[in-house]
């Protein structure tokens, strides 16, 4: 992609080339003049003399716009740097009075139909990709660099804390557990839980034996281990089997305990406060706080890694799809097109016209703030190449005028003298 520096270098080369061409043509005129004098060729002398005068005069005129010719501060030279302030003021007045005219602008806006053209442009995939690339590659990383990480982490911490403290977890738990007090949900849940416990007990019989052996006195020589293990295992298994029976005493006591616990959660403010305190205490642990602090770092890293994928970036592609969809949506909505055009024509145009003096003053003050020499150099870089044609034309036209004058003089001598 061509940069501004590359364009400036190209302009400098083009300007120097045209200056060499103009100077070379003037040099040819000087050479012809010397040849005409040496070989006494009056017609050639007349042509070359006039060509030199025309070329030098136009060189003076062109140079006088940007600087003093040959560094000599001749009156009314270096016009642009010395008249910079007046030029800026006149330019500001010209733009505000001639360009910022409601009638002219309204006609142009009606002809242009901004909303339609903009929506058509945005609906093309390649245009949407261009905008998305600019946003993804420049704007998003710029925002990430601008944002202070510590401020974001603090913001997340404060927001998280406020949201957590604003939640009554006791009510949530009571609401979630309320169905357990109704119907067969509680019974089925308890039965399933007891089935799991019974299966786990069977699967861990060897572990129970090891634990019993480690706990029995050494002097028993392991004789009581098996009996104790079987006793513990069978006792627990009998308890669980009895608890599975909805009509058993054990199950009724478990049901009563669960019911009282749920009722306490539902109706006891003290229990709800304990639940809240327990959850908030968990949230306040260092591990949880470190995780919250790391959220922004993870988000930032994910965004950066995604953007670095280039054309495969999800962020970039989503932005492109959003832009393209926006363009298609406007294009297919005549009412929206009219609203956008009317907004630009009425609201934005009114703001622009109400501030046209401010805009003119801004242009004027901006030009006045520029360095005179720098302004002159920039303008010469932009239009200096074309101005060299004035020097070339001056040399050629001057030469031909010299021939005309010479011809008239010869005719005069021939017919009058």
Q: What is the mean pLDDT of residues 7-30?
A: 92
73 within some domain: yes
209 within some domain: yes
Q: Do 396 and 263 fall into the same domain?
A: no
Q: Do 196 and 270 fall into the same domain?
A: yes
Whole-model pTM over 0.95: no
Segment 235-261, tens digit of pLDDT? 777 777 777 777 778 777 877 777 777
pLDDT of residue 368: 83
Is a pLDDT exceeding 70 seen at residue 1? no
pLDDT of residue 35: 95
The band of 50, judged by pLDDT with boundaries at 50, 70 and 90, is very high
Q: Do 255 and 379 fall into the same domain?
A: no
pLDDT of residue 318: 92
SS (H, E, C) the chain: CCCHHHHHHHHHHHHHHHHHHHHHHHHHHHHHHHHHHHHCCHHHHHHHHHHHHHHHHHHHHHHHHHCCHHHCCCCCCCHHHHCHHHHHHHHHHHHHHHHCCHHHHHHHHHHHCHHHHHHHHHHCHHHHHHHHHHHHHHHHHHHHHHCCHHHHHHHHHHHHHHHHHCCCHHHHHHHHHHHHHCCCHHHHHHHHHHHHHHHHHHHCHHHHHHHHHHHCCHHHCCCCHHHHHHHHHHHHHHHHHHHHCCCCHHHHHHHHHHHHHHHHHHHCHHHHHHHHHHHHHHHCCHHHHHHHHHHHHHHHHHHHHHHCCHHHCHHHHHHHHHHHHHHHHHHCCHHHHHHHHHHHHHHHHHHHHHCHHHHHHHHHHHHHHCCHHHHHHHHHHHHHHHHHHHHHHHHHHHHHHHHHHHHHHHHHHHHCC
Contacts of 67 (CB under 8 A, 6+ apart): 77, 78, 81, 376
How many angstroms from the chain centroid is the CA of residue 166?
Answer: 35
Q: Do 162 and 281 fall into the same domain?
A: yes
Nearest-angstrom CA–CA distance, 318 and 40: 81
Q: Do 377 and 322 fall into the same domain?
A: no
User: Range with the lowest mean pLDDT among 67-81, 132-146, 157-171?
Assistant: 157-171
Segment 213-232, tens digit of pLDDT? 666 655 445 555 666 667 77
110 within some domain: no
Q: Which residue has the higher pLDDT, 268 or 57?
A: 57
Q: What is the mean pLDDT of residues 104-128?
A: 87
pLDDT of residue 24: 95
pLDDT of residue 346: 83
Last residue of a domain, one of 332, 355, 385: 332
Contact (CB, 8 A) for 18 and 62: no
pLDDT of residue 417: 60
Count up the domains in the chain and report the number: 2
Burial (Cβ within 10 Å: 0-12, 13-18, ≥19) of residue 91: middle
Nearest-angstrom CA–CA distance, 352 and 359: 8
76 within some domain: yes
Q: What is the mean pLDDT of residues 60-66?
A: 92
Token pair 């005309």 is found at: 404
Is a pLDDT exceeding 80 seen at residue 262? no
Neighbours of 302 (CB within 10 A): 12
Q: Do 172 and 74 fall into the same domain?
A: no
Last residue of a domain, one of 304, 332, 360: 332
pLDDT of residue 214: 67
Nearest-angstrom CA–CA distance, 128 and 131: 5
pLDDT of residue 26: 94
Domain that holds residue 60: 4-82+370-415
Contacts of 25 (CB under 8 A, 6+ apart): 55, 391, 392, 395, 396
Highest mean pLDDT among 139-148, 180-189, 385-394: 385-394
How many angstroms from the chain centroid is the CA of residue 334?
Answer: 30
Q: Which two tokens stand for residue 132?
A: 């998305």
Q: Do 161 and 281 fall into the same domain?
A: yes
Q: What is the mean pLDDT of residues 9-15?
A: 90
Q: Do 242 and 133 fall into the same domain?
A: yes
Contact (CB, 8 A) for 399 and 47: yes
Highest mean pLDDT among 1-10, 79-88, 387-396: 387-396
Instruction: Give the mean pLDDT of the chain.
Output: 83
361 within some domain: no
Q: What percent of the chain has pLDDT over 90?
A: 23
248 within some domain: yes
226 within some domain: yes
Q: How far apart are the first and last CA of the chain?
A: 71
Q: Do 171 and 76 fall into the same domain?
A: no
Segment 169-207, tens digit of pLDDT? 767 776 766 666 565 666 777 777 778 887 887 887 777
Is a pLDDT exceeding 80 seen at residue 355? yes
Q: What is the mean pLDDT of residues 121-150?
A: 88
Q: Which residue has the higher pLDDT, 388 or 233?
A: 388
Q: What percent of the chain has pLDDT over 70?
A: 91
104 within some domain: no
């Amino acid at each position: 992609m061509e940069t501004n520096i590359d364009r400036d270098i190209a302009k400098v080369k083009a300007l120097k080339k045209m200056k060499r061409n103009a100077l070379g043509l003037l040099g040819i005129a000087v050479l012809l003049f010397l040849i005409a004098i040496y070989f006494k060729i009056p017609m050639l002398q007349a042509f070359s003399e006039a060509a030199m005068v025309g070329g030098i005069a136009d060189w003076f005129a062109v140079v006088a716009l940007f600087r003093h010719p040959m560094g000599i501060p001749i009156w009314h030279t270096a016009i642009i740097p010395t008249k910079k302030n007046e030029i800026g003021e006149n330019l500001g007045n010209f733009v505000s009075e001639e360009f910022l005219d409601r009638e002219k602008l309204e006609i142009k806006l009606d002809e242009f139909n901004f909303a339609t053209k903009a929506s058509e442009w945005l609906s093309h995939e390649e245009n949407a990709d261009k905008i998305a690339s600019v946003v993804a590659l420049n704007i998003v990383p710029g925002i990430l660099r601008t944002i202070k990480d510590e401020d974001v982490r603090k913001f997340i911490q404060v927001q998280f804390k406020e949201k957590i403290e604003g939640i009554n977890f006791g009510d949530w738990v009571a609401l979630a557990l309320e169905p357990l007090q109704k119907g067969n949900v509680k019974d089925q849940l308890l039965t399933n839980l007891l089935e799991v416990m019974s299966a786990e007990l069977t699967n861990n019989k060897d572990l129970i034996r090891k634990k019993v052996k480690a706990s029995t006195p050494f002097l028993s020589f392991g004789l009581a281990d098996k009996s104790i293990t079987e006793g513990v295992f069978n006792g627990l298994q009998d308890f669980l089997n009895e608890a599975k029976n909805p009509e058993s005493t054990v199950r009724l006591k478990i049901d009563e305990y669960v019911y009282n616990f749920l009722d306490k959660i539902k109706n006891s403010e003290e229990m709800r406060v304990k639940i809240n305190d327990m959850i908030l205490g968990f949230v306040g642990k260092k591990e949880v706080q470190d995780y919250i602090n790391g959220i922004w770092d993870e988000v930032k890293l994910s965004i950066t890694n995604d953007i670095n994928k280039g054309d495969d970036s999800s962020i970039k592609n989503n932005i492109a799809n959003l832009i393209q969809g926006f363009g298609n949506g406007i294009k297919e909505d005549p009412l929206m097109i009219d609203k956008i055009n009317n907004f630009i024509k009425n609201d934005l145009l009114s703001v622009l016209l109400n501030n046209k003096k401010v805009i003119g003053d801004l242009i004027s003050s901006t030009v006045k703030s520029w360095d005179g020499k720098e302004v002159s150099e920039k303008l010469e870089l932009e239009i200096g190449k074309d101005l060299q044609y004035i020097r070339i034309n001056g040399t050629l036209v001057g030469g031909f005028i010299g021939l005309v004058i010479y011809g008239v003089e010869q005719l005069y001598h021939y017919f009058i003298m």
